[in-house]
Structure 1
C-alpha cells in the first residue's frame, strides 16, 4: 500500500475539487451575511499559509487565536497546520490571567485575534507574554489605535501570500492543533492533536447516521471554535462538503433562531444551554418562527433533559442527539443513537436509552475499572472508572507532570464514573469529583439533575455535594424555575417517586441562573466554593435567588 500521510491539507484537496461551489456563510448582523464558496476559502487558506511562511512562522511553532466563529477564524484551521505549525485556539471566555497562562505555557509566537479582543490582549501584554512576537487583527477597515506592537491587519498579511501556495508533505503524527482543558480543577492541561488524529476523528463523525454530516446539510456551528476545535464539526463539514454556517461576533440566542429561519439550517451543535435558550426565545417571541428545516440538534456538555428534547421534537420535529467527549479525545468518545434492534421497546425504554452517553465511535475502545483495578462486566450496573484508548486519544499532556496520573499503560483515565450496558451504551453516573458520598453511600448528581430537569416547572438544575456534620456530604440542588409556583416540597415529593429517601437533596435553592464554565457546563466547583464561604445564604445572594 502507498504510505500516504493523513494530513488536513488532504481534506482541503478533496473539498476544493468536489465541493468547490458549496458555501461557508457567516452572520455579520441581523439578516446580514458574508458568503463565499469552498473554492474561495481554499484560495484564501493557501494565501494565509504562504503569508505565514513569509512571516517567519516555522513548523512546530504555535500560533494562537482569540476569536469568534467566523470565516476568517476558520481559515486559520487549515492555513496554520498546513505549513506544519500548530493552531492554538485560546478560550476567549477565560480570565486574562488564565489566558496569559495558556499563551506562556504553549509559547505562542503569533496571536491572531478579533478586533474586539484588542483591549484584552493589551492587558495580556502588560501581564507578560514574552514569546509572542507579532499580533494579527481580523476585521474590516483600518486598524484601530492600539499599543500592540508589531500589529498587522489580517487582510494585509493575506495579501502577501499566493493562491498557488503548495502545502508541504510531512509526517501525519505532526501536531496540527492545540487545545487546553477547561480547568475545572487546577491549571488547564494542554493537548496536542496530530493531523492523523483530526483526520480520523472527522471521518468517524462523518460516518454517524444520526449526525448525518452530508453534502446536503446546512450546518450551524454554535459550539465555540476555541473549544475542542468546535467539536471537530468544521473539519467534518468541510470533508463532506456541507454548507457551514458560522454565527459571527457576539451572537445571541435570538440570532441562532434567526439564522435557522433565514438560511434553512438543517443541523446544529452547541451546549445544552443553547437549546434551552433558543426554546425560551421562541416561546417569548411574538413572531411565529418557522424552524421546520432543523432536523438535527446536537446538544453537549451534559445530557439534554427530557423536557428540552421533547419540546424540540414535538414543536419542530427536530431530533435531539447527544454524545460523550473530552478535550483529550479530539474530542468525541461516544455518540448516541437508537440501535435498530432496540427501537421497538416502547417510548419510555427508548427515551431511557437516549439519555445514555451512547456507544463508542469507530476506532475507540472503552473499559470500566473497579476500585481494585479489575475490569468490570458490561452489564449496565457494575459502576467504575471509564478508561479509553484510540488513534485520536492523547498519550500525554503538553509539558505537564499530570500525564502520569491519567495516561497509564496505553489507556487514558477519563475521570468519569459509570457503567456500560450489554449493548455497549455508556451510562455516565458522574465526574469522579462530583459524586456525592453520603454516609458511605454514593449518590449520582447527574441522575438527580436529569430527574429534576424532567419536571415541567424546572428550566435548569444542578446538584452539588456540600459538607454535613453527620453524613460528611449531602446533595444540594440549585434550580432555575420555569414556573414561580414551584415549591421545595413539590420537588421533594417528585423525586421520592424515583429515588431512595437518603438520595433526596436536603435543600432546593431556587436561583435565577446556574453558574456555568467557559464552555457552558454547570460550574459545580464555583457553587461549592461559594457555599463553603457563606452557606446557602451566600449562594442565594450571589445568584439572585428567591425562596418559594
Structure 2
C-alpha cells in the first residue's frame, strides 16, 4: 500500500520560489567584483533568475545541458545558479584555483555549452578557452559601463542580456531526479571526477542543513558564506539561506581579514562559514587592530582539520562558538558536524576540547560506518581505526560518465578514502587519508 500524499517534486526552483513568496524583502548584500556594495532582495534575485532562464532558453538550452560558472560568491552568481537549474539545465561550478590544464579537462569532460564568468577570471578563461571546443558562448557578469574589451569570442554582457530578457518563464516540471549541479573533485587520484547532484539530493541536503544541529539558519540570522559557491554549493548555504529567509552577505572576490571584518561589522553578521586559513587571517586582523565582533555567535570551519589554537582563540577572546564540519564534494558536502551533546557540553571547557577538535556526528540523513580492508565493520570505541564509509540520499552513487566504475560497496556505502575513528558518543575523527 502506498501513501496518498501529494506528488510535489523536490526541485530547487521551489527554494527560490519560497524565498520570493515568504521572504521576498530579505536582503542579499554583495561586495561586487567591481568594488561597490550591492544590495538586492530575494524577490529581485528571483525575477532576475527568471531572466537568466529566458536568455538560456533563447539560446536553445535544454534539460541536461551543462552551463558553467567561473565566479565568486555574489548575488549575480546566485541569479545564474537558479536560472540554470530552474529550467532543468545543469549548473557546473568551475573552481578557478585549479591548474589551467585541469580546468580544460573538466570543461571538455562536462561538455559545457556556455560559461558565465566574473571580470576577475577573464584572463584565465582567455587562456584556456581555445582548448574548449564545446563552449559556444561566454557571458561576462558585469554591466555595460564596466564591460571590458576581451579576446573571448562573442563575449556578451550580462546586464545587457538581462535588460532585454523576459521574466515570463516556467520553472520545474521535470523529475526530481533530474541532474541539477555538477562539481568536480580534485581529491582523487588521476583526472578530476564529476559529482552530479540531482534536484532531489540538493533539496534534501537543504533540509539536512537546516537542522539545528547543522547550519540551523533562520530569518533572524545574517549569514556570511565565505566558502565559495564552487566548493560543493558553498556547503549548501546558497540553498539554505533562501530556504530559511536568512539575510545573506556575499564577499565577492575579497576574502582577506580586513574585508571580512568590514562586512561582519557593517551588516551585523551572526554566522559564517569558511576554511581555517580565512579564520586565521581574520583572527590576525582582529588581534593586530584590537577589534571585537560582538554580533557573531557561531562560525563553521571545514575543509581541513581545525587547530585547537583557533578554536580556543575564538572562544576565549571573542566568545564565539567554533563548529567544525567535515564533508566532501561527493557528500554534497555535509557529512558530520561537531555539535557537542549536552553531556559533553557540560564538561569543563578544557576537558571538552577532546571532542571539539573532532569532526563530529552525522546529522539525520547521513549514515557512517568504519570498515577494515576486508569489509568487516569496526567498533565505535574511539581508538579502533577503519575506512570511513558513508551512505545517504545526498551521497554520490557514481561519478559523471561512469568514471572510476562502481564506487559503492555491497551495502551501498561510499569509501571516503579517509581513515577514522568513531567514539562511544558517535564523534568521528579523521586520522589519516
Give the structure-2-normalised TM-score: 0.95
Alignment-derived partner of residue 39 in structure 2: 35
CA offsets 1:69-106 (integer angstroms, 9 cap, x no match): 11111112211010000000000111211111110010
Q: What are structure 2's unaligned runs of at least 5 residues?
A: none
How far apart, in 1, do the equivalents of 2:34 and 2:50 lie?
31
Partner of 2:186: helix, strand, or coil?
coil
Alignment-derived partner of residue 155 in structure 2: 151
- Specify which of 96, 103, 112 is matched with residue 99 of structure 1: 103
How far apart, in 1, do the equivalents of 2:127 and 2:133 lie?
13
How far apart, in 2, do the equivalents of 1:29 and 1:364 lie?
36
Q: How does 1:251-330 map to 2 (within 5 A)?
A: 251-285=255-289, 288-330=290-332
Find out whether 1:75 has 2:75 as its counterpart. Answer: no
Q: How does 1:134-533 map to 2 (within 5 A)?
A: 134-140=137-143, 141-183=145-187, 185-209=189-213, 211-285=215-289, 288-404=290-406, 406-409=407-410, 410-431=412-433
RMSD after superposition: 1.7
How far apart, in 2, do the equivalents of 1:357 and 1:280 lie?
24
Does the 8 Å CA contact 1:12/1:238 hold for their aligned counterparts?
yes
When residues 419 and 203 of structure 1 are mapped into structure 2, their CA distance, relative to the original with a 3 A threshold, is same
**More divergent stretch after superposition (373-382 vs 265-274):** 373-382
CA offsets 1:227-285 (integer angstroms, 9 cap, x no match): 11111111111100100000112432210011111111111100011111111122223
How far apart, in 2, do the equivalents of 1:83 and 1:97 lie?
30
Does the 8 Å CA contact 1:388/1:413 hold for their aligned counterparts?
yes
When residues 371 and 95 of structure 1 are mapped into structure 2, their CA distance, relative to the original with a 3 A threshold, is closer
By how many angstroms is 1:370 displaced? 1.5
By how many angstroms is 1:186 displaced? 2.0
Give the structure-1-normalised TM-score: 0.75
When residues 190 and 244 of structure 1 are mapped into structure 2, their CA distance, relative to the original with a 3 A threshold, is same
By how many angstroms is 1:36 displaced? 0.9
By how many angstroms is 1:27 displaced? 1.2
Does the 8 Å CA contact 1:189/1:400 hold for their aligned counterparts?
no
Partner of 1:396: helix, strand, or coil?
coil
Misfit runs of 4+, over 6 Å: none
CA offsets 1:435-457 (integer angstroms, 9 cap, x no match): xxxxxxxxxxxxxxxxxxxxxxx
Q: What are structure 1's unaligned runs of at least 5 residues?
A: 432-548
Aligned residues: 427
Does the 8 Å CA contact 1:68/1:250 hold for their aligned counterparts?
no
Does the 8 Å CA contact 2:256/2:281 hold for their aligned counterparts?
no
CA offsets 1:449-487 (integer angstroms, 9 cap, x no match): xxxxxxxxxxxxxxxxxxxxxxxxxxxxxxxxxxxxxxx
Does the 8 Å CA contact 1:51/1:159 hold for their aligned counterparts?
no
Larger Rg: 1
Does the 8 Å CA contact 2:408/2:415 hold for their aligned counterparts?
yes
Does the 8 Å CA contact 2:214/2:363 hold for their aligned counterparts?
no
By how many angstroms is 1:30 displaced? 11
Partner of 1:268: helix, strand, or coil?
strand
When residues 210 and 325 of structure 1 are mapped into structure 2, their CA distance, relative to the original with a 3 A threshold, is closer
By how many angstroms is 1:407 displaced? 2.2
Does the 8 Å CA contact 2:45/2:79 hold for their aligned counterparts?
yes
When residues 251 and 423 of structure 1 are mapped into structure 2, their CA distance, relative to the original with a 3 A threshold, is closer
By how many angstroms is 1:349 displaced? 3.0
Does the 8 Å CA contact 2:119/2:142 hold for their aligned counterparts?
yes
Partner of 1:161: helix, strand, or coil?
coil
CA offsets 1:161-180 (integer angstroms, 9 cap, x no match): 32232213110001100001
How far apart, in 1, do the equivalents of 2:27 and 2:71 lie?
21
How far apart, in 1, do the equivalents of 2:312 and 2:34 lie?
29
Partner of 1:366: helix, strand, or coil?
strand
CA offsets 1:177-231 (integer angstroms, 9 cap, x no match): 0001124632111100000111111111111346331111111110011111111
By how many angstroms is 1:403 displaced? 3.3
How far apart, in 2, do the equivalents of 1:249 and 1:189 lie?
26
| Higher normalized contact order (CA 8 Å, seq sep 6+, divided by chain length) | 2
